[in-house]
Structure 1
Amino acid sequence: MATPVGGAWQLAKLDTPGGYLIAPDPGNARLTRAVTGVDHLGRRTGISVVEERPLTIYLNRQEIVTAMTIGDYPEYLALGFLKNQNMLSATDVVTRVDYDEEVETVVVRTEVETSHEEKLKKKTRTSGCAVGTVFGDMMEGLDAVALPQTEVRASWLYALATEINRTPSLYLEAGAIHGTVLCRRAQPLVYMEDVGRHNAVDKIAGWMLSEGVEAADKILYTTGRLTSEMVIKTAMMGIPVLVSRSGFTAWGVEIARQVGLTLIGRMRGQRFVCLAGDERLVRDIDPESLPAEDRKHRRKGAQ
């Protein structure tokens, strides 16, 4: 597959034990902008805000969606979106992913026309905060999902939360952004951020598809709400465990239980709640033995 690994958007590797394969670079000038405003006391003040730009995704010649995104890893976002929306099947061979920065488009090209392109001609979408969801296609793909019944240890979750909270990020620099992290046990691997939680998940899905990464032993950590869309996308990626600092929706819980996904939310400090897959959760550490979460390192959802 002729997919650039980040292209001009290659982000920094962190010098941490185990290290991230990809992690946020809050110093990337292309992703934020300095603006001047007035504070509550009437004083002029300067702050950093995240960029937001449109990215139009094509599947061969068919326009699919225009997503609002911060602009990094457009190739992965396009691939992951099409995969998670069930617009690319296991038999579709991707030959190229072409990004044109000048006109902000990504074209995902397949060896032959896909079975979905004809019905997709009526499904162009535009979204202001996230890519959104084409439920018909996603639910069709969900019927074929068979997630591995993978064990998850509480000690891994606490270690991940601590590491992720302390990772330099665009959120800590400018706020108004969601983060999603692909992890293997207690090791975070790939950390993506975007204005929409769906975009961040799709970037990781695109990276996994491009690199041929196995999903069965992975955990997906997100700052976003555990809605039906987030649960479906995680299941479509084949990842058996989804964890968030945020809360749940009823439909998200219902779908997680239906597909056998371990769903853990409200993961803050010494606390979390598991609403699906508790039988696969091993409580191998006493939460009371852990230090309280340092306030300056708290990583909340987008504000």
Structure 2
Amino acid sequence: MSGPYVLKPDPLDARLSTTVTGIDQNGKSVETRVVTEKPLTLYLNSQEVVTMMTIGDHPDLLAVGYLKNQNMLADDDVVTDIDFDEDLDVVVVRTERETDYEEKLKKKVRTSGCAQGTVFGDVMDGFETASLPANARLRTSWLYSLTKAINTTPSLYLEAGAIHGCVLCQEDRPLVYMEDVGRHNAVDKIAGWMVLNGIPAGDKIFYTTGRLTSEMVIKTVMMGIPILVSRSGFTAWGVELAQQAGLTLIGRARGKRFVALAGSERIEFDMDPETAEDEPEKSKRKGSLAAQ
């Protein structure tokens, strides 16, 4: 595997977890690390959009990625500024022009106090017209290298649990590894990084520790990434949407094992699975918890 991560978890960041004292099954005093969870209110220009619960790292990436994945930022919208107020837990994304969503959000807020119904409808419109590159490929040797590298990377999950991870990869190299209390937040952070750095999506692989749900499939397709991999399982709607969009969908990817339920034509079997390393028992136990 070539090269280091561009961004990866920092399990030693004191802002992201805290130590709590309790007792164990024997009534003995124990100390354990737990992840932080704090609100982050997002504004698009002058309009409040949503308040999210997050661990608090990379608020700029989370904000831009959320707006992009919710179809609130068009491809030609230019982000001119991102302001984060740590004391108020507020992040403001400003664009060169007023986006199409300001008026929609104002109308929705006045009628029901929530913009998500409007957003969901527009996201599905974008999903149905999305096109993924048919010539993308996934070699099984890359998949085995990626799962090993990701599962052995020091992370907040390994330190404290109760968190999800997502990784943007290219061939056999993991590029950006993000964690959060909600897997959708981890996805949005990666989307934000891609938008702000002009990263192409057609040759990328997306890895998640969580289940392959409809939400995960929709977000991956909307980001333009043709391959989605998880160590966990599938939902029926997630599989149906992946098949509809032409997304390669691989689940239960642990050690030398995996199952593909959509887009298997992109897979190149260039390595005998019997020669791949299986997961250590500790990693297997952690993986079973990640799906919960």
CA contact (8 A) 2:45 2:93 kept: yes
What per-residue deviation string (whole Å, max 9, x for no partner) do you get for residues 204-226 of structure 1?
Answer: 00000000001111000000111
Partner of residue 206, structure 1: 192
Partner of residue 82, structure 1: 67
CA contact (8 A) 1:154 1:282 kept: yes
In the alignment, the residues of structure 2 paired with residue 148 and residue 119 of structure 1 have an alpha-carbon distance, to the nearest angstrom, of 32
Partner of residue 10, structure 1: none
Alignment of 1:86-97 (within 5 A): 86-97=71-82
Alignment of 1:151-166 (within 5 A): 151-166=137-152
**Structure 2 residue 282 is the aligned partner of structure 1 residue 296:** yes
What per-residue deviation string (whole Å, max 9, x for no partner) do you get for residues 21-54 of structure 1?
Answer: 0100111101000000110010010000000000
From 227, 238, 254, the equivalent of 1:268 is 254
In the alignment, the residues of structure 2 paired with residue 166 and residue 187 of structure 1 have an alpha-carbon distance, to the nearest angstrom, of 14
Using the TM superposition, give the Cα deviation of residue 292 of structure 1 relative to its aligned residue in structure 2, in angstroms. 2.0
What per-residue deviation string (whole Å, max 9, x for no partner) do you get for residues 47-79 of structure 1?
Answer: 000000000111111111111000000000000
The amino acid that maps onto 1:279 is: E
Query: TM (normalized to structure 1)?
Result: 0.90
In the alignment, the residues of structure 2 paired with residue 180 and residue 220 of structure 1 have an alpha-carbon distance, to the nearest angstrom, of 7
Partner of residue 11, structure 2: 26
From 139, 163, 183, the equivalent of 1:177 is 163
Structure number with higher helix proportion: 2
Partner of residue 51, structure 2: 66
Decide whether aligned partners of structure 1 residues 225 and 133 sit closer, same or farther in structure 2, where only a CA change above 3 A counts.
Answer: farther
Quote the RMSD (CA, aligned, Å). 1.8
Partner of residue 35, structure 2: 50
CA contact (8 A) 2:254 2:278 kept: no
CA contact (8 A) 1:171 1:302 kept: no
Alignment of 1:93-132 (within 5 A): 93-121=78-106, 122=108
**Structure 2 residue 225 is the aligned partner of structure 1 residue 244:** no
Decide whether aligned partners of structure 1 residues 50 and 302 sit closer, same or farther in structure 2, where only a CA change above 3 A counts.
Answer: farther
Using the TM superposition, give the Cα deviation of residue 291 of structure 1 relative to its aligned residue in structure 2, in angstroms. 2.5
In the alignment, the residues of structure 2 paired with residue 286 and residue 134 of structure 1 have an alpha-carbon distance, to the nearest angstrom, of 44
What per-residue deviation string (whole Å, max 9, x for no partner) do you get for residues 106-141 of structure 1?
Answer: 111111111122112225659xxxx99942121021
Partner of residue 193, structure 1: 179
Deviates more, 1:84-93 or 1:184-193: 84-93
Partner of residue 139, structure 1: 124
CA contact (8 A) 2:232 2:291 kept: no
Equivalent position SS for 1:236: helix
Using the TM superposition, give the Cα deviation of residue 174 of structure 1 relative to its aligned residue in structure 2, in angstroms. 0.1
Identity %: 64
The amino acid that maps onto 2:278 is: A
Equivalent position SS for 2:129: coil
Structure 1 unaligned regions, length at least 5:
1-15
What per-residue deviation string (whole Å, max 9, x for no partner) do you get for residues 149-201 of structure 1?
Answer: 11111111110000000000000000000000000010000000000000000
Equivalent position SS for 1:143: helix
The amino acid that maps onto 2:259 is: V
Alignment of 1:225-240 (within 5 A): 225-240=211-226
Deviates more, 1:69-78 or 1:116-125: 116-125
Number of equivalenced pairs: 284
In the alignment, the residues of structure 1 paired with residue 277 and residue 128 of structure 2 have an alpha-carbon distance, to the nearest angstrom, of 42
From 221, 237, 260, the equivalent of 2:207 is 221
Query: TM (normalized to structure 2)?
Result: 0.93
Structure 2 unaligned regions, length at least 5:
none
CA contact (8 A) 1:242 1:261 kept: yes
In the alignment, the residues of structure 2 paired with residue 133 and residue 263 of structure 1 have an alpha-carbon distance, to the nearest angstrom, of 28
Partner of residue 3, structure 1: none
Deviates more, 1:149-158 or 1:132-141: 132-141
Decide whether aligned partners of structure 1 residues 133 and 114 sit closer, same or farther in structure 2, where only a CA change above 3 A counts.
Answer: closer
Deviates more, 1:43-52 or 1:248-257: 248-257
